[in-house]
Amino acid sequence: MAKPAGEQLVCVTGGGGFIGSSLVMELLQRGYTVRSTARNPEDRKNAHLHSLDGAQERLSLCRADVLDYTSLCFAFSSCDGVFHVAFPVSDNDPELMAVAIDGTKNVINAAADMGVQRVVFTSSYGAVHTNPNRNPDQVVDESCWSDLEFCLKIKNFYCYAKTVAEKTAMEEASRRGIHLLVVVPSLTLGEMLQPKLNLGIELLIVSYMKGKKAYPNTVSGYVDVQDVARAHVLVYEPPLRMDATSALAQWYTGRSLFK
């Protein structure tokens, strides 16, 4: 039987980011003790985490990098669960593919080696919809994946990396006996807890407000960041702890598409 939230220590990779910050807040509100990873815990961009309710008693920041396996082992030590949120947003980030493959492998294997049995992985709708052969009227489900060759053809390296990262997580989790749960949010908006504008919001919103010469003729799904954070916790917790709102994020070993 799973321990109650008040007796669990969980780790959030990239807890100072947009989704990560809301997830840390949600976990603290539910009584969890939270350890958040950061490349530099003393950086001012992480200061907002210390002002969250419950942070003084139940939040710690740990220096770790997903490309540094040893640092992840230290961060995951004694943890009951891991939420792997950290991922670069920019298509031009040179670490994008390394984080997608090596970083994901490091997280899953470090969790397994530290005795963690359950990992929640933050994927993206970008790992689902980028497929020219999918009918736009088709309802996407857990069987839908972005086409890797098409992603490379149109130079959408973010969607390529997210697809590869999720598949890597599934393969490694199966090999190591990790109970993997995947949340697949669409474009995520909402209140920012961190003081600095994050790159995702800047790319999605600010660039449009500043004006563009052309806009894509597409329809996108949007979801509030607090709902995404809540979905992560709901898929992590055993079914008996879930209430009526859990219909949006079912608990199972697989993918939860969240729009």
Mind listing the pLDDT tens digit of every residue in the chain (259 residues)?
Answer: 478 888 999 999 999 999 999 999 999 999 999 999 999 998 888 999 999 999 999 999 999 999 999 999 999 999 999 999 998 766 555 568 888 899 999 999 999 999 999 999 999 999 998 999 988 788 888 889 999 999 999 988 889 999 999 999 999 999 999 999 999 998 888 888 887 766 666 666 666 666 667 766 766 778 899 999 999 999 999 764 444 334 333 333 456 665 5
Q: Distance from CA of residue 216 to its chain's centroid?
A: 26
> Residue 42 falls within a domain, yes or no?
yes
Are 89 and 156 in contact by the 8 Å Cβ rule? The answer is no
- Domain carrying residue 96: 5-239
- Rounded to two decimals, the pTM is 0.87
> Residue 148 falls within a domain, yes or no?
yes
The tokens of 131 are what?
Answer: 């497929």
> Residue 252 falls within a domain, yes or no?
no
Q: The CATH number of the domain where 127 resides is what?
A: 3.40.50.720
Total tally of structural domains belonging to the chain: 1
Give whole-number Cα distances, 114 to 14, 133, 175, 199, in Å.
Answer: 19, 41, 15, 32
| The residue to which tokens 């009918």 are assigned | 135
Q: Determine how many CB atoms are found less than 10 A away from the CB of residue 101.
A: 15
Q: Please list the active-site residues.
A: 162
> Residue 244 falls within a domain, yes or no?
no
> Residue 15 falls within a domain, yes or no?
yes
Q: For residue 100, give the nearest of 70, 123, 128, 69 by alpha carbon.
A: 123
> Residue 216 falls within a domain, yes or no?
yes
> Residue 113 falls within a domain, yes or no?
yes
Q: How far apart are CA 105 and CA 102, in angstroms?
A: 5
> Residue 53 falls within a domain, yes or no?
yes
Q: How far apart are CA 210 and CA 196, in angstroms?
A: 18
